[in-house]
Amino acid sequence: MSLSDILSSLPDDGADSRRREEVEAELRRLRARLQDDPMNVSEEDILGGIEQKFDLECCGDFLDDADWLMESLKFTKEPAPTDPSEIRGAWERYLDEAGDRLPYDQYPILEGIADWYYGRSDNLDMAARAVSVYEYLFSAVHDRTVEFEPSDYVRRMIRLWKQLKNVSRAKFLVQWAEERYHARLLSHEEYFDLAKIWAELVVEERGDDLTECERDLNKILRIAWDTISHRDRRREELSERSQRLSEEIARARDATYPQAARRRLEARFGITWTKLHETTRRELELGETYSHSPYSAHSPGVVPTAFFQAVKAELMARVFEPYGRRNPALLARIRDSGANPVRMLIDYARKTLRNPADRKAIREALAEAACKPGFLSEDYVKKLKRLCEHRDQAQHPEDNPPYNDVRLEELLQGVWLNNWIVGFLGALNGNRAD
């Protein structure tokens, strides 16, 4: 391939910028029309605006600053249905009337619409609208019309149906999710969360008719959750001690540690390296060292733990607690409950973070940290989850097969050698997340 061919194949940043400006201008014109003459704006035009907004942001929370679009939809303005059978088909009927603008294969946009309603589901009408859109998506998966993983929003559906007093539908979805768990498509944590919901549903459905055995089981579940939280805090402490011991081993083997790793990291990260928090750099130096022989042969589990701790440290430093200025209640829950900021960010991105105050605090923290578009894209969230899974396997051998060199190579290919961690940490420091 000639140099001119290579250059011509590169993306035209100027063209992308011009296209973005054009779309932003079209959205401004649509907003003006909705303000000045809303009766002459069709539902198809509004749905088209929602599609354009997604094209601009390309992330799950693309509607966070687009209330003006969502509030203009006829589906939002008209009274929500109350009968469960009507609720389940309401969004599909709306799309039929609106010209079927958003087919199933536009599921990221559809899920974003459902998430917007879900974020306002303290209101029962909004809860009904949210679950209606989720049901539309779920029917496509259930009928195998499309292939994408619905487990994240199914948990939201269960809570919404519980809120709307449709216990039978909520229980059906719990049973469906349990099948996903047995097929290894749900984690232990997600399954335990479903078990708690199931217990709540039984209590709500049976009320005073609960047997003594069922009451005891409900108590056991609550105690188990408290025990797991305590166990997770203890595991975090042991993990930290293990990592420091790994540093001592590396230093005993090579008195110049971590200089060689630091030089490689400076070349890999460029200017971003100087912006990273000192704890982040320390963990990356450890992970980089143990990703090479001879360390990788005898201690492969050090690498996923170190990379996970690096991401966690940078999240705390740049988003959750820069200079100690962030939401004190959120920080207290992280410290006291053993909640992990990496998992909290994943739950926030997947719209499964249940505490409204936490959702609000994280949204404001991300905005203040000036994280760029794409920071919480679907691809980034999947890779964060993959990093968590590798770290869990390495740190919890009692629950998993031993972490080995094959798994380490999968991790390195998935998040390190492709510079994904470099891009993610750079995004936390204001770089564009491409």
The predicted-structure confidence for 320-365, as pLDDT tens digits, reads as follows: 776 555 566 667 666 655 567 888 888 787 766 666 667 777 777 7
Final residue belonging to a domain, choices 148, 163, 181: 148
Task: Assess whether pLDDT exceeds 90 at residue 168.
Answer: no
Tens of pLDDT, residue by residue over 186-206, are 666 666 677 777 777 766 666
Q: Are residues 240 and 136 in the same domain?
A: no
Final residue belonging to a domain, choices 83, 115, 148: 148
Q: Are residues 260 and 363 in the same domain?
A: yes
In angstroms, how far is the first alpha carbon of the chain from the final one?
25
pLDDT at 378: 76
- Per-residue confidence band for 6, with pLDDT thresholds at 50, 70 and 90: very low
Task: Assess whether pLDDT exceeds 60 at residue 13.
Answer: no
Final residue belonging to a domain, choices 119, 148, 177: 148
Residue 383 lies in a domain: yes
Residue 179 lies in a domain: no
Q: Are residues 264 and 136 in the same domain?
A: no
Q: Are residues 135 and 282 in the same domain?
A: no
Q: Are residues 254 and 113 in the same domain?
A: no
Residue 1 lies in a domain: no
Tens of pLDDT, residue by residue over 286-318, are 999 999 989 988 899 999 999 999 999 998 888
Count the domains in the chain: 2
Tokens representing 33 are: 């029309």
Count of all residues that appear for the chain in the document: 434
Q: Are residues 23 and 132 in the same domain?
A: yes
pLDDT at 277: 92
What DSSP line would sit under 101-145, residue for residue? -S-GGGHHHHHHHHHHHHTTTTSHHHHHHHHHHHHHHHHHHHTTS
Tens of pLDDT, residue by residue over 89-128, are 999 999 988 876 677 777 788 888 998 998 888 899 999 9
Give the residue, 416 or 236, on which the prediction is more confident: 416
Residue 224 lies in a domain: no
- The reported pTM is 0.59
Question: CA–CA separation, 290 vs 250, rounded Å?
Answer: 8
253: containing domain: 234-428
DSSP code at position 403: P
